[in-house]
Chains A and B, each alone.
Chain A
Amino acid sequence: MILGCNFGSVAHTDMYNNLGNPAGVQGPNVNPQPNPFGNAFYGAGSGLIRGGLGAYGEKFLGSSSEFMQSNISRYFSNPQYYFQVNEQYVRNKVKVILFPLLHRGHWTRITEPVGGRLSYKPPIYDINAPDLYIPFMAFGTYIILAGFTIGLMGKFSPEAMSMQFTRGLAGWFIEVLLLKGLLYSLGGGEAPLLDLVAYSGYAFTGLSLTLLARLCWSYSYYALMPWMSLCMGIFLVKTMKRVFFTEMRSYEKHSSRQHYLLLFMAIAQFPLFFWLGKISA
């Protein structure tokens, strides 16, 4: 932990800036990717041309990929980092999210020096790293299960599905705002946005599990929902505490204000989960 603090005070800006620097992000096993973000979209561009969008395809996607590389990489860290997952990571991470009290290891992310600067290891190597695959899949599962619930109530319609989708997105957004606001109020606002999106998206795993249980036996909802909110609260407290340690100035650590805000964040999960779990057509 002391080592982590030292890293935090000395090189925290470098750590997060590295995530935006394409050369410094990847772990040692992956080939150096000078432009992974750009390449994903370039492939998209050529495919769409072949698919008959004509010259507009290249113009639209080609130019926007340059735009994205120049502008978006200032605001978003490299999204490729968040998808370096494998099945074992996914399984273990879901276990950590759903039962955070059983996680025996530490919660800090592993850093490694890459190219002279410190960066975080990608999710394959580090169970504590955030990823975006689980949030996306959990969100999709939430939508499908909500659709089943509405259907079994007899009120299914595609418009209701769209409504649920929008509600889910709104919930995700509110959660991101909550985390971001928390970071700002504690003085460090430099965590990458995609990290916060990932942490918020983990809420949907607990939600999906609750919805699934409710489909099987409707009274399980009343037991499982508070439990899942609690688990998510604990998970968020543990991760955000580590994020604060790397963000904040040293004289403000361990303040009671920090602890009260973390507690507030954990308690705020309850109404959010209940709102998202209330599926009505």
Chain B
Amino acid sequence: MAKEFSVPPVVFPSSAGNPNVPHQRRPPGAAPMPPFQPPRPSNSGPANPSIPFMSFDIGSTPASSSFSAPVFASSSGGGGSLSVSGSFEDEPPLLEELGINTRQIWRKTLSILNPLRVNANLHEDGDLSGPFLFLMAFGLFQLLAGKFHFGIILGWVIVAALFLYVVFNMLAGRNGNLDLYRCVSLVGYCMLPMVIFSALSLFVPHGGVVIFTMAAAFVLWSTRVCTALLVELASCGDEHRGLIAYACLLVYMLFSLLIIF
């Protein structure tokens, strides 16, 4: 068959009965293929069970079928020019598939903002995407201050979470049921006051009394929220509240050092 592109066709052995069907990726902006219908196997789905997204329906719309369209899963094949034979529309939206529940993240963030009353039910299941956002924001604010600390923040958060995990579980004894995932999630969410502090510290003169008092206030805020959450969420933290509070204080003072100096 005469082809316009020099890209050799990728032929999948299981494409039922039509070995000449080319599954090609077209670079964006390429000239449109002449309209051409690859025969859709009647037993649609399991033709290529492992790579459903490869069977493009190229002929349905012309040209602007850009390469990036299949990534927008939420477009469910209708708006885009590409659709997998049959199963694409049924795929869940990308964020849901990744487990990022933005509404929940927003609610959890708002609950941290109140240092006096802590809502522990929201934080029952840990998630790492909120902390990831906070850490990125923290790194960005540090960058604005001229310090490139992304890797250090990540490493220190991991070490701090491990430290809290070990201390909490050892203190709580045999009934300690804090797991590392939830611990990292809690430490990350309670970083929010630190992120706010790093934003505010950009406007405050370096080394004055103001920045130290602000640091004290924000560290205490973080510690209070973190301790309250840890004690509520994991069992047997109650009789060791002061001990756990001191451990959290150490963790957040460590991060405040990054911001102050």
A residues engaging B (CB < 8 A)? 30-31, 33, 36, 39-40, 43-44, 46-48, 50-52, 79-80, 82-87, 90, 132-133, 136-137, 140-141, 143-144, 147-148, 150-151, 156, 158, 161
B-side contacts of A150, CB under 8 Å: 261
Instruction: Report how far A156 CA is from B261 CA in the complex, Å.
Output: 6
A151 near B257: Cβ-Cβ < 8 Å: yes
Contacting residue for B257 out of A36, A79, A90, A144, CB 8 A: A144
B-side contacts of A141, CB under 8 Å: 250
**Listed A/B pairs (6) with beta-carbon separation below 8 Å:** A33-B173, A51-B181, A83-B167, A137-B250, A144-B254, A151-B261
Contacting residue for B174 out of A39, A47, A143, CB 8 A: A39
A43 near B169: Cβ-Cβ < 8 Å: yes
Instruction: Report how far A81 CA is from B76 CA in the complex, Å.
Output: 58
Instruction: Report how far A86 CA is from B243 CA in the complex, Å.
Output: 8
Instruction: Report how far A147 CA is from B239 CA in the complex, Å.
Output: 31
Q: How many A-B residue pairs have CB under 8 A?
A: 91
Instruction: Report how far A136 CA is from B231 CA in the complex, Å.
Output: 20
CB distance from A85 to the nearest CB of B (A): 7
A44 near B169: Cβ-Cβ < 8 Å: yes
Is B240 interfacial (CB-CB < 8 Å)?
yes
B180 near A47: Cβ-Cβ < 8 Å: yes
Interface 1/0 per residue, B166-183 and A, CB below 8 Å: 010111011011111110
A137 near B246: Cβ-Cβ < 8 Å: yes
Instruction: Report how far A137 CA is from B239 CA in the complex, Å.
Output: 18
Instruction: Report how far A48 CA is from B180 CA in the complex, Å.
Output: 6
B residues engaging A (CB < 8 A)? 126, 128, 149, 152, 156, 163, 165, 167, 169-171, 173-174, 176-182, 184, 239-240, 242-243, 246-247, 250, 253-254, 257-258, 260-261
A40 near B126: Cβ-Cβ < 8 Å: no
A-side contacts of B258, CB under 8 Å: 158
A50 near B173: Cβ-Cβ < 8 Å: no
A-side contacts of B180, CB under 8 Å: 44, 47-48, 51
B-side contacts of A40, CB under 8 Å: 169-170, 174, 176
Instruction: Report how far A132 CA is from B257 CA in the complex, Å.
Output: 26
CB distance from B235 to the nearest CB of A (A): 11
Q: Which 7 A-B pairs have the closest CB atoms?
A: A47-B179, A51-B181, A151-B261, A156-B261, A83-B170, A140-B250, A147-B257
A80 near B173: Cβ-Cβ < 8 Å: yes
B-side contacts of A43, CB under 8 Å: 169, 176-179
Q: Which of B126, B176, B181, B250 has the most CB of A within 10 A?
A: B181
A-side contacts of B182, CB under 8 Å: 47
CB distance from A92 to the nearest CB of B (A): 14
Instruction: Report how far A167 CA is from B250 CA in the complex, Å.
Output: 19
B167 near A136: Cβ-Cβ < 8 Å: yes
Instruction: Report how far A132 CA is from B243 CA in the complex, Å.
Output: 12
> Which residue of chain A has the shortest Cβ distance to B247 in the bound complex?
A137
CB distance from B209 to the nearest CB of A (A): 13
> Which residue of chain B has the shortest Cβ distance to A40 in the bound complex?
B169
Contacting residue for A48 out of B167, B173, B181, B242, CB 8 A: B181
Q: Which of B178, B180, B184, B240 has the most CB of A within 10 A?
A: B180
- Given contacts A51-B181, A144-B250, A133 and B167 within 8 Å (CB-CB): yes
Instruction: Report how far A44 CA is from B169 CA in the complex, Å.
Output: 9
CB distance from A72 to the nearest CB of B (A): 15
Instruction: Report how far A135 CA is from B156 CA in the complex, Å.
Output: 20
Instruction: Report how far A154 CA is from B171 CA in the complex, Å.
Output: 37
Contacting residue for B173 out of A36, A133, A143, CB 8 A: A36
